[in-house]
Structure 1
Amino acid sequence: MCAETIAEPVAELSPTAPAAAAPATSDLWERLRAGFALPTRLDDRRVQLHLQWFKRHPDYLNRVVARAEPYLPWILDRIEQAGVPSEIALLPIVESGFNPFAYSHGRAAGLWQFIPATGRRFGLEQNWWYDGRRDWVAATDAALAYLQANRERFDGDWLLALAAYNAGEGNVLKAQRRNQARSRATDFWSLDLPRETEKYVPKLLALREVFTHPGDYGLELPPLDPDQRLELVETGSQLDLALAAELAGLPLETIYRLNPGFNRWATPPEGPHRLVLPHGAATGFRQALAGLPEEQQVQWQRHRVGAGDTLIGLAKQYHTTVALLQEVNQLRDHRIRRGDHLLIPTAREALDSYSLSAGQRRLALQNRKRAGHKQVHVVRPGDSFWDLARHYKVGVRELAGWNSMAPTDTLRVGQKLAVWTRAPTAANPNIALQRVRYRVRQGDSLARISQRFRVSISQLEQWNDLDRRRYLQPGQVLTLYVDVTRQAGSG
């Protein structure tokens, strides 16, 4: 999805409205096919290329269907209510592969891949606690509103509406104006659009053909369990997600996968105060929650303000926000006094138990084993992804991706980044470099170590993320890549 958008009124769709009861045909896949309505061109080369790829990769299709299974019935219900072609239910395959935690190098997030600006335009809140772009319930309605607005702009043409969803309305309008100036047709197939967009619409049309004839592509479409049909359950106020899992009798990971918009260990203080739960768990959850006093939905700690304490520091220490501390403790500003007592909401479990929170997902990605040598870079003032990529000789997108970020995301001073670099090789192919761990001794300096091991100071800095303006500390361990045949007696 593109950042270039044109503001206009859009049809309102309530993100919290319950899904409608299933139509007379309860088979999801029959309902999906019955609603296909997009004009297609199976003879187009781009559509055929996608179909050939899908035929060669049935495992991919089946993995995507397995990921889509929890979300697809709800999404199809909303599509039927909105009266749009049911192929739109397959659009998250094109956008995210039905991965609710998908995040692109262009800062697009969630099943429907909203970028920040377009998400805000369609009412998707984004803050420390919550990202509405990943809240697939809210984002589904936002995507339908966006697509319907595009369809009106392009005189009812769904293919142009889809192209605008990917490239931005402005880019499609410019392409149309270029063709009009040359007396050429202005339909999707005639426009000169960005390469990604020219593949985007044909891919969706290819998926329509795949789901029309699944057996021809090795796709297995499983029947869906009615007890797994999803419901929205109101929580009334902020709720610890570990407690929610306990009350619902579900694994905590399931809570996160059904509610991926929640960034932290609890639902947001300001809402949305609701959870998506399987039908089979929703009734028991409601009953258990009704018997729980509201003040017990989140665990509280009483903190005595000490010397040097600040609201910012306490928010970081207790994994919450300054705004929430101010609200709970009725503080008008950031000032707190030594000896005062503050009430602070805290997670009931260790933070690493909330394994699909934003912080834990990033940590897992940073710790994933990859080819090469891992280094940890601590962000300094003035650092950017572009400069760091050049310094470590890695791709900008690679570097951002290793850290669950996009190249245009802002880096914070003190933030830790995982960097995977290839182990260096010698210029002479007959020389084998060996990785050596060297413990710094009293009196060592970068210049002395570089002379001892016959490497450059810049290599030492790169291999160990060092700053030559800072002194080495005795006992510090450095990684070096050296020709060990020349290091006899070097220690």
Structure 2
Amino acid sequence: MATAPTKTLRFAGLGVLLTTLAGCATAPMSRLASPGSASPSDPNVVKTKVPHKVATHAPAVVKVGECPVPAIDHARAGHAVDTSDKKYSNLWNRIRAGLRLPRMEGPRVARYEQWFANNPQYVENMLQRANLYLYQIVQDVSKRNMPMEIALLPAIESAYSPDAYSRSAAIGLWQFEPSTGRLWGLKNNWWYNGERDIIASTNAALDFLQSLHNQFHSWDLALAAYNAGQGTVEAAIAHNKALGLGTHYRDLRLPLQTEHYVPKLMAFVNIVRDPAKYGLTLRAIPNSPYFVRVNTGSQVDLSVIARLANMSLKQLYAINPGFTHWATAPNGPHTILVPVATKAALIEGLSQLPPQDRMQWARHRVVPGDTLYGISREYGVSIAAIRSTNHLYGDLLHVGQNLLIPMAGRRLVVSRHPAARTEVALARSGPQRVKIIHRVRPGDTLWSIAERYRVYVTQLERWNVLNAHDVLRLGQRILIWASPAMVPSAMAKTRVTE
């Protein structure tokens, strides 16, 4: 996890299994719980035995506290390998060619190797997500001439999920805490979160890691500092210096989570290096880009982008997780990622799109008694969105003032009367709407529910007083006003006309 220099330890991603791994038993680890992973009792998980013990290729094992870990070279390991060309059709082979850190062995590494081997479904699900992003990460790592082990770090941080969220508010593939994200230039507003943006967060993480390597002159110490914070590693080094002890990674007494962090990464590196040894198969990933960046020029409704690119909103959000609502941010970034094959169609479609069709707006004229809070509730948008759109810096409104209210790709029917509020028709097609109560099931999100019933996430937010990032509970009742054609008639309970 990317933490601020003086912050205390936070851990995210796969988890370090603190309680389970506090000791250093050498018995094989058959079942360990990992946050976000499939339960070992899940019938979809196939128990796999590690075929044989890893052959020794690492430096001699030395003692760190009670647990032995291998020594790691503290200079830049290995020689740079050119992995930028196209001689590798399979991205995994390109990654293997760029692995440069010395191999690590020991009980901790072996435990994580066996955990991955015993949870093939977890690995499969994780790498299905990685399939979308890994080429871009590898490209950025290669351009900086960094070890390819760094491209595998999101497996430990977030299991390659840009939606991963920790208790310490770390978020995204690289698990940036908000303060650290700001420090490394990641923007965050109502419309957009740079910590979840694939390209922005990757560049920030690599900047941070390179800075740590320049400071500590060691990739293992840089990784430890990325997890625990620079201050934690600096303090451990200063403590050892005062006692006349060594200051290499293997010599330091670091928080237990951090002592497991590098071995865990190296265990996954070993899996990637030779998956068959652990009874695993890594599906080939093409060594070519999955997505490409397209300049939209201005704010645009994401549903319009999805339509022009001939893809679903779910697919669009999967590669653009930085956008937190229904449109790109009014003040940028005015770029969007789309699959390579759809680039030409999107550019042509945007060039022919009338400006008024990029976004739809309601115009609200302020009357006595209006407040930003009341207006935001009326239209189902946040106060932050209204402020951003209208360049407001406080809560003061003036009677007669006109406000533009962003509305997500809806047909607007606006009427204004002194004694009546503005009416907004939220229907996508046709006036008839059916009241549906949807009970949340495993895997449901507001995005998936909206896609299923062909409504907008903002509508679900308004109807249920929710936020797009609220965690849904199993069995939770979600109110939906849907088109009758989109749901079985048996589900219809009340017919209404908006």
Structure 1 residues 276 and 182, CA gap change in structure 2 (3 angstroms) = same
Query: How many pairs does the alignment contain?
Result: 357
Q: CA deviation at 1:220?
A: 2.4
Alignment of 1:285-434 (within 5 A): 285-320=346-381, 322=383, 325=386, 334-349=395-410, 352=450, 353-355=455-457, 361-363=468-470, 365-369=471-475
Show the counterpart of 1:29: 92
2:113 counterpart of 1:113: no
Q: Which of 186, 195, 218 is 1:133 aligned to?
A: 195
Aligned partner of 2:126 among 60, 64, 75: 64
Query: Residues 95 and 111 of structure 1 are in contact (CA less than 8 Å); yes or no, is this contact kept in structure 2?
Result: yes
User: Paired residue for 2:216?
Assistant: 154
For the residues of structure 2 that align with 1:202 and 1:69, how far apart are their CA atoms? 24
Bigger Rg, which one = 1
SS at match of 1:166: helix
Q: Deviations over 1:309-346 (max 9, x none)?
A: 22343234334455664675577864444455433221
Work out the CA distance in 1 between the residues paired with 2:241 and 2:363.
68
By relative contact order (CA 8 Å, sep 6+), the higher-ranking structure is 2
Superposition deviation, residue 354 in structure 1? 4.7
In structure 1, the residue matched to 2:418 is none
Letter in 2 for 1:31: R
Structure with the larger helix share = 1
Partner amino acid for 1:231? Answer: V
Q: Structure 2: how far apart are the matches of 1:107 and 1:328?
A: 27
- Name the CA distance, whole Å, in 2 between partners of 1:79 and 1:24: 17
With structure 1 as the length reference, what TM-score do the two structures score?
0.67
Over residues 112-141 of structure 1, what are the superposed CA-to-partner deviations in whole Å (9 max), with x where a residue is unaligned?
000011100000011222111011210000
The structure-2 alpha-carbon separation of the partners of 1:218 and 1:314, relative to structure 1 and needing over 3 Å to count, comes to: farther
Per the alignment, do residues 272 and 22 of structure 1 end up closer, same or farther by CA in structure 2, a change over 3 Å counting?
Answer: farther
CA contact (8 A) 1:232 1:275 kept: yes
Say yes or no: does 1:85 pair with 2:115: no
> Partner of 1:16 in structure 2?
none
2:132 is paired with a residue whose SS is coil
Read off the aligned partner of 2:134 and give its amino acid letter. Answer: L
Which residue in the other structure is 1:410 paired with?
A: none
Does the CA contact (< 8 Å) of 2:170 and 2:177 recur in 1?
Answer: yes
Provide the identity percentage: 40
Give the secondary structure class of the aligned counterpart of 2:93. Answer: helix
Tell me which amino acid in the other structure corresponds to 2:340. H
What stretches of structure 2 of length at least 5 have no aligned partner? 8-82, 411-425, 427-445, 478-498
Residue 49 (structure 1) shift: 1.1
Question: CA offsets, 1:248-272, max 9 Å, x none?
Answer: 1111011111111111111111111
Partner of 2:5: 5
Instruction: Quote the offset at 1:26 in angstroms.
Output: 2.9
Partners of 2:306 and 2:238 in 1: CA distance: 54
Corresponding residue number in structure 1 for 2:62: none
User: Which string of whole-angstrom CA distances, capped at 9 and with x for unpartnered residues, describes residues 395-430 of structure 1?
Assistant: xxxxxxxxxxxxxxxxxxxxxxxxxxxxxxxxxxxx
Would you say the 8 A contact 2:86–2:287 is kept in 1? no
1:243 aligns with 2:304: yes
After TM superposition, list the pairs within 5 Å mapping 1:215-234 onto structure 2: 215-224=276-285, 229-234=290-295
Distance 1:228-1:37 versus aligned 2 partners, 3 A rule: closer
CA deviation map 1:74-115 (0-9, x unaligned): 110111001100011110110001111111001100000000
Partners of 1:264 and 1:341 in 2: how far apart?
Answer: 23
Q: Which is further off, 71-80 or 122-131?
A: 122-131
Change in 2 beyond 3 A, CA 1:328/1:221: closer
Judge conservation of contact 1:2–1:115 (CA < 8 Å) in 2: yes
Question: What secondary structure is seen at the aligned counterpart in 2 of 1:233?
Answer: strand
Q: Check whether the contact 1:6–1:170 (CA below 8 A) recurs between aligned residues.
A: yes
Cα gap change, 1:144 to 1:327, in 2 (>3 Å):
closer
Opposite residue 98 of structure 1, the aligned amino acid is: Y
Amino acid of the structure 2 residue aligned with 1:177? A
- Measured in 1, the distance between the counterparts of 2:108 and 2:212 equals 23
Alpha-carbon distance between aligned partners in 2 of 1:169 and 1:302, rounded to the nearest angstrom: 50
- Separation (CA, whole Å) in 1 of partners of 2:172 and 2:272: 23
Q: Tell me if the contact between 1:109 and 1:115 (Cα under 8 Å) persists in the aligned partners.
A: yes
Distance 1:193 1:251, change over 3 A: same
Alignment-mate amino acid for residue 276 of structure 2: G
- Partner AA of 1:62 in structure 2: E
- Tell whether 2:127 aligns with 1:73: no
Unmatched 5+ stretches in structure 1: 8-19, 376-491
User: 2:294 touches 2:337 (CA, 8 Å); kept in 1?
Assistant: yes
Structure 2 length-normalised TM = 0.66
Aligned: 1:169 with 2:230 = yes
Tell me: CA distance 1:233–1:219, structure 2 relative to 1, closer, same or farther (3 Å).
Answer: farther
Question: Within 1, Cα distance between the matches of 2:273 and 2:406?
Answer: 51
What SS class does the counterpart of residue 293 from structure 2 fall into?
strand
Match for 1:261 among 316, 322, 336? 322
d(CA) in 1 for partners of 2:148, 2:352: 41
Cα deviation for residue 151 of structure 1 reads 0.3
Conserved? CA contact 1:252–1:354, under 8 Å: no
